[in-house]
Structure 1
Amino acid sequence: MPVNDSQHKTEPNTPEPGLAGSGVAALFIGAIIAGSFLGLASPEASGMVSNYIDQTLLLMIFLLCFELRPSALLDGLKNLRFLGIAWGANFLVIPVIGFAIATVFLSNQPVFYTGLLIYFLAPCTDWFLGFARMAKGDTALGAALIPINMLTQLLLFPVWLWLFTRHTGVVDLESVPGTLMDWFLVPLLAAQALRFVMTKALPEDLFARIMTWAGHIIPVVIAALILQIFAGNIITIADQAQIFGIILVAIFLFFVVTYFVVEGISRVTALPYEQHALLTMTTAARNAPMMLAVTAVAIPGEPLILAALVIGMLVEFPHLTAMKQLLLRQRNRKLAA
């Protein structure tokens, strides 16, 4: 029988462990290779493909918004202490770390600096939950972080750009709020309206299958967007390829620093293991897909910024896998003690 969204007891759809790791990374690498080959082999075909970037962006934004489960926020409000700790770590502590690292490595490269900083600033809203599940973290509480993380980062995006990038001249700051309103408010309302209607009209098992398929489609749509970006801009990206080595080092350092900072926060606040694992994953994973969409519409005509975000996505999956192993070792040591 049809049910309300609040009655759905399953967690919001998140990528399966295998898909969230090597499968998605391979998909994205394949998209980079295919897009680059197309851009070099056939400028005419690559131009046709890249002309549909806006449509792909809208589809990706709609699907990401469709996954949001507002009822999860109400469930998570039972643990305001953890939500406050996670929010402070994600939106106060980590932005400072990201700003410092981006400034040290790329302050003389304003376009790449902007892309790296955007990657650092936004916590994940999807596959971090799959890795938290594998690490035996509190995924029910993690579900409440998804709408909080998404809405907070969208609201803070113009603020971050003003604080951290106004000196670069890369961003037209005055146009950003209106652009985000046009591109994200309408898809968010439409996606949530469709979700509400479906929860009222469809049986629970059918709705759950639809959510599962929506989750599987999202990486494919992201891969299509990556292919379009590289097809239309491979020559520009290739001309600056040497910078990507610096970006990789900066991202690696960011992950190391944030890991130890979160370890310290978890100990000071005496979080139980399940919440510690969740905090580690929500702060380790970055929301590159959403930032890819936000950046493409808010800062158009800057393919190097988008390429920096894609590089970050590729590094992230092995990093999250390593975090999962470290957390499970900590858990096993505590159980054995």
Structure 2
Amino acid sequence: MINKSILEEKQISIYIIILLISVIVGLAWDQSNIFEHAIEPIIGVLLYSMFCQIPFLELKQALKNRSFFAALLFGNFILIPLLVWLLVSIFPLNPVTSIGVLLVLLTPCIDYVIVFSHLGKGDSKSVLASTPLLFIFQMVLLPLYLWFFLGKETVGIIEVTPFVKAFFYLIVIPFVLSIITQLISKSDNRIGKSILSFSGWLPVPLMALTFFVVIASQVGMLYEDPAPILTVVPIYVTFAIIAPLTGKLSAKIFKVDVYGSRAVSFSTGTRNSLVVLPLALSLPAPENQLVAAVIVTQTIVEILFELIYIKVIPIMTNSKTKE
């Protein structure tokens, strides 16, 4: 019988299968763009289910392991932005494509990175405890990063009203509902506990469904004009190779132990594509389709590299790291 743990451990295989199916459907069916209408509601429910699994009510827990906390923030919000700045300088992009690249590479993952850290023999519990802080920091810093990297003219492409609406409906509301659910479950409310328990089953199937509707609806456009996507693949591959090393460097600076160092490497190498995707879709058409496709491309590259990370990061971060 399938339980939640098995579902989470097999999620990479599930996503790869769904990616292949979605490409086949998207290329074989001329009306596959109809799935586009399902993207936002599915992502809204997905984010609610993900936020329910994040212990926002236990924020103090993240501060107990101060060296890990410092390494995680320094790696994700200082070293990674420097790496991204270097990459976009080496691989120049047009303004619209740059928005997609920056949205996804500047935001650390807050969901399946926990499972990857566990599979890679890292300190997944500390990652879980730190997810509220990662979420809050990236939402606060992302507008500043975009302004710094893109400048006023390019940021002007982003219409503020739909962007704010997408952020409110697809991030703020699911976030608030998840906090309410956690509060109710803490008060020994049977319904609240049942909802919280049921939400734990949702992230993997809903993430797979999100991959399907996004890729199936966009792959036709990419097939007809693959040039923009091909320009970002070198950036994503280079990032995927270097990012875990920046995590290891940050862990070394703050003298994090072996298991914490592995977790920091997973965090710096894993990005928050599905949380920023709604923000990309809120951009004016037709730019929003290109930005969304750029973000989804990073997810595909990342999933393939996670299979490598699981084997390589434990070897890369060995007993020589300070225990």
* Cα distance in 2 between the residues matched to 1:51 and 1:177: 19
* Cα distance in 2 between the residues matched to 1:98 and 1:185: 27
- 2:170–2:278: 8 Å Cα contact kept in structure 1? no
Structure 1 pair 255–85 and aligned structure 2 pair: CA distance change class (3 A): same
Structure 1 pair 216–178 and aligned structure 2 pair: CA distance change class (3 A): closer
| Deviation per residue, 1:229-256 (Å, 9 max, x gap) | 427xx33x33430232232111111122
Give structure 1 stretches of 5+ with no counterpart: 1-11
2:206 is aligned with 1:218 = yes
Choose 296-305 or 154-163, whichever is displaced more.
Answer: 296-305
Aligned length: 314
Structure 1 pair 15–334 and aligned structure 2 pair: CA distance change class (3 A): farther
2:65 aligned counterpart, secondary structure: helix
* Cα distance in 2 between the residues matched to 1:120 and 1:149: 14
Amino acid in the other structure paired with 2:9: P
Shift of 1:308: 1.0
- 2:43–2:274: 8 Å Cα contact kept in structure 1? no
2:309 is aligned with 1:317 = no
Q: Which residue matches 2:249? A: 264
Runs of 4+ in 1 over 6 A off after TM superposition: 12-15
Structure 1 pair 190–151 and aligned structure 2 pair: CA distance change class (3 A): same
2:186 is aligned with 1:195 = no
| Deviation per residue, 1:52-84 (Å, 9 max, x gap) | 433233223322333322144222221123212
| Deviation per residue, 1:282-307 (Å, 9 max, x gap) | 11111111111232235664111111
* Cα distance in 2 between the residues matched to 1:230 and 1:140: 36
Shift of 1:90: 0.5
| Deviation per residue, 1:205-261 (Å, 9 max, x gap) | 956742431233332332244146427xx33x3343023223211111112222333
Shift of 1:331: 6.0
Q: Which residue matches 1:6? A: none
2:299 is aligned with 1:308 = no
2:202 aligned counterpart, secondary structure: helix
Give structure 2 stretches of 5+ with no counterpart: none
- 1:50–1:229: 8 Å Cα contact kept in structure 2? yes
Shift of 1:181: 3.4
Structure 1 pair 91–36 and aligned structure 2 pair: CA distance change class (3 A): farther
- The partner residue of 1:290 within 236, 259, 275 is 275
Shift of 1:185: 1.9
Structure 1 pair 171–68 and aligned structure 2 pair: CA distance change class (3 A): farther
| Deviation per residue, 1:11-60 (Å, 9 max, x gap) | x98962321x232122133223323433xx23xxx454333433233223
Amino acid in the other structure paired with 1:164: F
TM-score (norm 1): 0.81
Shift of 1:179: 4.7
Q: Which residue matches 1:85? A: 71
Shift of 1:158: 2.1
Structure 1 pair 73–32 and aligned structure 2 pair: CA distance change class (3 A): farther
RMSD, aligned CA? 3.0
Choose 166-175 or 179-188, whichever is displaced more.
Answer: 166-175
Structure 1 pair 224–135 and aligned structure 2 pair: CA distance change class (3 A): closer
Q: Which residue matches 1:98? A: 84
TM-score (norm 2): 0.84
Amino acid in the other structure paired with 2:145: W
Q: Which residue matches 1:3? A: none
Q: Percent identity?
A: 16
- The partner residue of 1:141 within 117, 122, 126 is 126
2:3 is aligned with 1:18 = no
* Cα distance in 2 between the residues matched to 1:321 and 1:47: 30
- 2:247–2:264: 8 Å Cα contact kept in structure 1? yes
Superposed, 1:154-193 pairs within 5 Å as 154-166=139-151, 167-168=153-154, 171-172=157-158, 174-175=160-161, 176-177=163-164, 179-193=166-180
Structure 1 pair 173–50 and aligned structure 2 pair: CA distance change class (3 A): closer
* Cα distance in 2 between the residues matched to 1:106 and 1:170: 19
Q: Which residue matches 1:255? A: 240
* Cα distance in 2 between the residues matched to 1:15 and 1:119: 25
